[in-house]
Chains A and B, each alone.
Chain A
Amino acid sequence: MLAIYKRELRSYFQSMIGCVFVAFLVAFTGIYFMAYNLNAGYPYFSYTLSGSLIVFLVGIPLITMKSFSEERKNKTDQLLLTAPVGIGKVVLGKYLAMVSVLAVPNLIFCLFPLIIKLQGTAYLKVDYISIGVFFLLGCVYIAIGMFLSSLTESQIIAFITTFGVLLMLYLWDGILSFLPSSAISGMVGILILITIVAAYIQHMTGNWILSGGIELIGAAICIVTYILKSNLFENMLTKVLGNLALANVFTDITSKSIVDISGIVLYLSIIVVFIFLTVQAIQKRRWS
């Protein structure tokens, strides 16, 4: 794992992508910092960070796009997969290398609150927590991008799909407001979600009994609950899907100074899920 981690990290900074990413993120944040904190005199650096959240939409796909698709295209994955190293370790090594690239600009960000402090009052606790959560949110996005990269041979497709997914997540709150809130539509929505999950399991395992079972049991539970207690489903869709508005955990800190622990747990679990899915996607490719 360490070998892969070191090689990846070195390649990010040798191939310019890492440097471009760091420069890009720091430059944009610097512009926001100048505008909000230095010019307008606003004492929270966290506010600046929430402005540069949009930079992630382009920056993260830039570093994740090549993670697996390039290896697959150049057939270098043959070296990794025939070496005495488990696939989980290969994925983890690559993931940690990307996280380390992301850590570089975040470490630089740690200087900004100190600059504010030099000029007067600074709110260091909020600022550093928000940098930490900002970094964690980036880690979530990297996990998603890495998974999408493992599905394709083309870096460009990996970039575009990751960008699309991140943009969707960014705009999620707005999209959610179009969802219906009645109980019946909530139930139908949940049924659709269960079907999507079952279809994915069927696609990955090819096991009709397992996926059919999940579909049937899920649907049965849904319908029974709906008949017994239909008001449970009111606003259900918005509640369930609202969790996908990942950036909310971060913006809560920056705008209201509220740290939502469950939100951070959600971040960590999404990271674990996508690392797992990446391993599965690579395993699946060996078998088809």
Chain B
Amino acid sequence: MSALREVEPVLERLREVLPQSLYRELVAKLSREQMDREKALEVIYETLKLYVKALIDAGEAIGIVTAQSIGEPSTQMILRSFHFAGLREFSMALGLPRMIEIVDARRRPATPLMYVYLDEEHSKSREKAEEVAKRIQSVTLETLARSVDVDYLTFSIVVELDPEQLRYRDISPKHLEKVLAKVRGKGLEVEFDGNVVVFRLDTNDPVKLRKIRDKLLQTRISGIKNVRKTVVRQDERTGEWYIITEGSNLEAVLQIEGVDPTRTYSNDLHEVAEVLGIEAARTLIANELKRVLDEQGLDVDMRHMFLVADAMTWTGRVRQIGRHGVAGKKESPLARAAFEVTVKNLVDAATKGESEVFKGVFENIIAGRYIPVGTGMVRILMEL
């Protein structure tokens, strides 16, 4: 007889207390073992004891633990990181620079990237993946042109198209015509003659002509804005094909056919927060931090990353850890002054007439009081 049935009512109550994974493991173990009720209860009791012991106590200074747990390994990162330089097709921010970028919540990462995962149909073979990559990568008129001439006599720009490029990029002359027709207007006529496109202008200013030429060459014929380069890669573990893009435009790429929108993501925190929401940004921050550390062979517990991510996304927006974010928006004027730009913070607080309530750690250290951490958190109410 399995031990499970004996202790069912007890287990039912544990379901509320234990995390799902632990609960399932316990049930699985109990159902496999042969034991009487007393033994089973003992097992449950031990499990519960260990679980509660592993929980973090109220008042534990987890912020400091996280800071040290991430800070110490990253001191080793600087020395190691340059061994990896030049190994990839992509220049991408790695190691410490990337980590600083994340916690500073920069508006644009130094190298915006997207990891584009593909659906069932397209992730199986290189050819299918390339197909999607072509849809994503933006192609300008410049890449399709074999030669570009400016005719100063008739005030026109003559672009000779490269049929090879057209075939390779899967662009039909019809599509090209349709896109270029939209450029027309404001004294600009477009004419097609086989492989030659002629733009006629009504201006006779050579400087302006050249300016218009440059603009015309940058016209996007197909693909998605901001995606400059695509590389098709195969996951070594799963054998799945996916695409990495240089330049990021998450909103557009999620709507492309063949893309798996549930897994595709960008490394731009603000973009992810905008398109997918703050919760997705939280996950991204934690995952990216973890990835940076893992790449350097540093083992830091995931829960530290989550704490950082939680602090950064607490207000529903992505905030940096620093003067303009988490540390700079603290309630206490003394805590803010203790961090950076002391005088300015104090003057600002004074002009606004802020008051100090001594609830945080920094201000209490400054005042020489007990800090509200651990046993310092408890107060005594005395009956007089």
Partners in one complex: no
Footprint of A on B, CB under 8 Å? Answer: none
| Residue ranges of A at the interface with B (Cβ–Cβ < 8 Å) | none
